[in-house]
Each structure stands twice: as C-alpha cells, then as structure tokens.
Amino acid sequence: MIPNNRGTAMTEWTILGAGALGCVMAGLLRGRGEPVSLLLSERHRGHLHPSLDLITLAGRHQLVHTRPLFAEQAGQIRRLLVLTKAYQVVPALQALRGLPNETPIILLHNGLGVAEQVLALYPQNPLIVGVSSHGAMKEGPWLVRHTGRGETWLGPANPAANAHAGLADALAGALGQIRWSPDIARLQHRKLAINAVINPLTACHRIRNGQLLEPRFNAVLAQLSEEVHQVMAALGEQEPLEDFRRRLHKVIELTATNYSSMHQDLAHGRPTEIDYITGYVLKHAGHLPVPVCRQLYNEVKKLGG
C-alpha cells in the first residue's frame, strides 16, 4: 500500500454499493493510502466485516481494509461515491436521512434518468454525475477482480457541484485517467448509446460482446445503431451516424471477450438496468420509429429483467 505522505488528515471516501465496481474502487483508493468506508446493508449488520480480496490487473491478490458504515451513521459521510445499479440508487439514498447538505454525491452507474430523482431527494447537496469504463468482476463473496483500467469523466448535475471539480483530481491518483467536464451530459449520452446497442443484444442472445461482429448480426446492428443514433440526435447529439458506428465497433472489439453487465444480470437472475438504458431511449424517442429497441426491451423484460 502506498502511504499517505501529505502530512494532513485526508477526507474519507464513503462507497455506497459493495458490488464488483464498488469493491474495486475501494481497493484502488486504499492502494493510494486514501481512507475508505463501505456503506453496508442491513444483512451485514452483526457480521464480522471482512477484508476485501482484490485481484489486481497484474493478477496479484491484495487485501483491502475498509471501515464499515451503516445508514444511521450518514452524518459522518463527507464524500459519497454511489456505485450501485441504477434502480438501487434512490432506495439506498433514501435511507441516508442524516446525510449532511454539504456532502457531495457522485453517481457512477449505467443508464440515465436517476440524477433527476436524486436532485429531488437531495436538492441542496452538490450532485456530480459521471461515466467510467473501468472493468470489474465479482468472483466470490468479497472477492473481486479488476478486469480493465478505463477512463472516467465527472461533471456537474447542479450548480453546487461546480465547487467540487477538484474531486476529479483527488480521484485521479487512484483511478488513473479521470477528468472533469462541464458538458457531462454529452458524454453520458454517448455511453448510453453504446450500452443501448451492446447490452440488450448480448443479453437476449446470451453471447459475449465480440460475437456481435459475426455476420449474422450485421443487419440488426445496422438498424439498432440507427435507431439509437436518431434518438440521441433528437436530444442534441451531433456525432454523425458513421462516427457512432465506428466508435461502437471499436468498443465491441476492445471488450470482445467480456459479457455485458445486462447479460450477467440475466444469467444470475438479477434485475437489469434495461429501464435506464433502452427504456431511456424509448422514453425520448417521441414519434421516431424504434421497433428494434422496443422488441429488445420487451424481450429483456420477458426474460426477467
């Protein structure tokens, strides 16, 4: 572990969401000597709080020690990183009744539509939203693997968040490439567009991302990417369709051996984030025809998502 040589007390990061990405983030922050607490659910109360076992990108096992925290201790939270699934964000935050008004809330989840609900719940708190391409996989209870170091972008969801742009620099030491963007909505739309193609297709066909480049998917990829692109264009996205398709193919190639999060959720009988990905596209489609999006949405729902 890299020691803290700053000579001053460091502000603790509190992580809400002890899934794969939350545990990896905890490990990366602790690896830089940052203090980290992990908000635990009621089912962990009364149990011994174990160390996390993080498998690094180099394949080494690293024991990660965090401070356990429960909802009634929300008054102690100074920086809150929310790394739950999209549908878990609001119920989890509702339990934090004592959260100080000045505590910045950072949302890092797939899909869109949650930030508006959080703003209604905590109108005074600085709200920061972001996108991240870090890869993480849970291999067992308190055993996680860091599968890929990506880039992370943060930006303001309300005016109060602008005073906390420095949090991007504070996280950069642990997470690597991380930047602040005043135009975070554009980056969120671009990530959502990729997810709205890859996730439902791989989930419905039970395949790895790279299999989408097989000839049998050529026609559906072409139509689905056009549907998603036209909805994003209606929301103000200016990226040409062919540029979007090139970016999509690059992501598929870079993640060829991966299973999408939606595929994994269906495979393990968990709810998916379909309402915040494809559902967001459908909600904003208006009169635009999006039959493939609608068909995939219905199929994922039928499969249990």
> Rounded mean pLDDT of the chain?
91
Of 256 and 41, the one with more pLDDT: 256
Of 50 and 206, the one with more pLDDT: 206
In this prediction the pTM is: 0.89
Per-residue pLDDT reduced to its tens digit, 225-234: 999 999 999 9
Closest residue by Cα to residue 254 from 209, 216, 220, 204: 209
Per-residue pLDDT reduced to its tens digit, 272-287: 999 999 999 999 999 9
Per-residue pLDDT reduced to its tens digit, 100-141: 999 999 999 999 999 999 999 999 999 999 998 877 878 888
pLDDT bucket at 5, cuts 50 / 70 / 90: very low
What pLDDT sits at residue 9? 60
What pLDDT sits at residue 237? 92
pLDDT bucket at 48, cuts 50 / 70 / 90: low
What pLDDT sits at residue 148? 76
Pick left, alpha or beta for residue 113 (phi over 0 → left; psi -120 to 50 → alpha; otherwise beta).
left
What pLDDT sits at residue 4? 43
Per-residue pLDDT reduced to its tens digit, 155-189: 999 999 999 999 998 898 888 888 999 999 999 99
Given a cut of 70, whether residue 271 has pLDDT beyond it is yes
* Active-site choice (85, 138, 191, 301): 191
Strand ordering across the sheet containing 143-148: 61-64, 52-55, 143-148, 135-140
What pLDDT sits at residue 3? 40
Percent above pLDDT 70 for the chain: 95
C-beta separation of 92 from 114 below 8 A: no
Given a cut of 90, whether residue 43 has pLDDT beyond it is no
Active site residue 191: yes
Per-residue pLDDT reduced to its tens digit, 11-36: 999 999 888 888 888 999 998 899 99
In the chain, the domains with their CATH numbers are 13-182 (3.40.50.720), 186-302 (1.10.1040.10)
Average confidence (pLDDT) over 216-223? 97
What pLDDT sits at residue 96? 95
